[in-house]
């Protein structure tokens, strides 16, 4: 239970600093896709945001290492890393995305 509480706090802080809606869109895409590569996530996010593949890769690494809601797997050194949303955080993430209010910076 304490682990979930710390995940909630980290995700809340992550979303509180979202001035453009990009972070919320990233987490929404993670929730809808469940399993993806950086290239797949880049294709999804580049439709609504101006960004680079490196920015998406950096965000996926940050979400995995700091927020702790993703796991990663690499089949071999020739294949890209596949990220997966940890099942135990699906409902939690869905609730948090529904409740977030983006404070846009003008």
Confidence (pLDDT) at 5: 83
H helix or E strand, kind and range, residue 87: none
Residue labelled with tokens 């609504």: 48
Q: What is the pTM of this model?
A: 0.86
Domains and CATH numbers, the chain: 2-98 (1.10.10.10)
pLDDT in tens, 52-85: 999 999 999 999 999 999 999 999 999 999 999 9
**Which 3 state secondary structure label does DSSP give 18?**
coil
What's the mean pLDDT when you consider all of the chain? 90
């Amino acid at each position: 239970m304490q682990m979930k509480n710390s995940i909630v706090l980290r995700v809340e802080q992550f979303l509180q600093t979202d001035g453009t809606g990009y972070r919320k869109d990233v987490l929404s895409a993670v929730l809808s896709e469940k399993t993806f590569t950086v290239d797949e996530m880049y294709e999804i996010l580049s439709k609504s945001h101006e960004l680079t593949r490196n920015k998406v890769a950096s965000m996926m690494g940050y979400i995995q290492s700091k927020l702790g809601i993703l796991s990663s797997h690499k089949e071999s050194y020739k294949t890209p890393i596949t990220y997966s949303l940890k099942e135990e955080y699906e409902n939690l993430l869905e609730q948090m995305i529904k409740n977030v209010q983006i404070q846009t910076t003008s």
